[in-house]
Amino acid sequence: MTTDSALKVRGLWKIFGPKAERLIGTPDAALSRKDLQAKSGHVIGVRDVSFDVAPGEVFVVMGLSGSGKSTLVRLLTRLIEPTAGSVHLDGIDLTGMDENALREVRRRKVSMVFQHFGLLPHRKVIDNVGFGLEVRGEGKTARRVRAQDMIDLVGLSGYEQNFPDQLSGGMQQRVGLARALAGDPAVLMFDEPFSALDPLIRRDMQKEVIRLHHEVGKTMVFITHDLDEALKLGDRILIMRDGEIVQIGPPDEIIAAPADDYVKDFVADVNKSHVLTLRWVMRPPDSPDEGVGAPTLPQSTIVREAARTVLAHQGVVRVVDADDKFVGVVDDEDILRVVVAEQDA
């Protein structure tokens, strides 16, 4: 996974302040955010972050405001210069790159969707979508054709000649999405793209992202402060606090096995039955023959979806892993515990 990951991040630091690079490796770097700021006036944005993102994966970075997630996503394309550490994108080391090479990477390999859309008000939709292509010097006809394709893809056909301020927030962000897709990048970065939208539109846009992910299969790094969004979209989730990683894992693991009280607190109100899989609620079988003849479910089945089968059947249901090996059993009790606990909360 390390060799062919779409994004490989190792030991990434960002400290804001005049002599930040001298702090790395000193005992001061280990101080808490507040203490360091009081002592030297430096502010830690991101502290020693490492992770990998597999090709085609949707990787969500989640944290409250001030947790460093927006800084992190900007470090990944060096919109903010890292203080230390390395970033490999598609196998290329970005951190040692000169200005020109970096620009080339930004033009072709990676693109970004912004929180406040970042559309140019003086350009029509079609020219906004084609902006990245224009920047990398493609001819007018080629970029118009490509832009039109992208506009069709995000469902904005018919709005090509409008100006951004004539569109609703959700439509504007579709333009932002189309612009990011237009350059056919290997990796898409989303910086809280839907936090400025109201809940209904936000849900539509989340569906849109899932649909696009199925259609174009890009690697996505998605920043959000909304846990539901993270659980809905993420193959894996990175939870940040004060610039540090608190936990990385798939959604069901985050819910079922929170790394500390902070995460536990965070996930307390989540609809567990919508996220937890049987893996987290089953118990080991008493004997290899337990429940023979009962229905069989894969352990990655979400509890809510398993409920009907389990409740309809008298007695235990067998759970198997990815290789069809018998790994555990669940019964009504196990399912109800998750669902009822939720109602109590």
Contact set with other proteins (CB under 8 A)? 38, 74, 77, 79, 102-108, 110-112, 114-116, 118, 120-123, 131-132, 134-136, 163, 183, 189
**CB contact burial 312-325 (16+ within 10 A = b; e otherwise):** eeeebbbbeeeeee
In the complex, least distance from residue 7 CB atom to other proteins, rounded to whole angstroms: 15
In the complex, least distance from residue 163 CB atom to other proteins, rounded to whole angstroms: 7
In the complex, least distance from residue 28 CB atom to other proteins, rounded to whole angstroms: 18
Q: With 0-12 CB in 10 A as exposed, 13-18 as middle and 19+ as buried, what is 244? A: middle
Q: Which is nearer to other proteins, 222 or 266 (CB)?
A: 222
Edge-to-edge strand ranges of the sheet holding 43-53: 43-53, 7-16, 84-89, 92-93
DSSP state of 23: G
In the complex, least distance from residue 175 CB atom to other proteins, rounded to whole angstroms: 12
Distance from C-alpha of 329 to C-alpha of 333, rounded to nearest angstrom: 11
Q: Which is nearer to other proteins, 62 or 189 (CB)?
A: 189
Q: Which is nearer to other proteins, 16 or 163 (CB)?
A: 163
Q: Which is nearer to other proteins, 190 or 266 (CB)?
A: 190
- Containing 241, the helix (H) or strand (E) segment is strand 236-241
Distance from C-alpha of 113 to C-alpha of 180, rounded to nearest angstrom: 6
Nearest to 343 by CA among 246, 271, 249: 271
Q: Which is nearer to other proteins, 112 or 256 (CB)?
A: 112
Within 13 Å and on the Cβ side, how many CA atoms surround 336?
A: 5
Tokens 């830690």 correspond to what residue? 44
Q: Which is nearer to other proteins, 114 or 262 (CB)?
A: 114
In the complex, least distance from residue 112 CB atom to other proteins, rounded to whole angstroms: 4
In the complex, least distance from residue 34 CB atom to other proteins, rounded to whole angstroms: 10
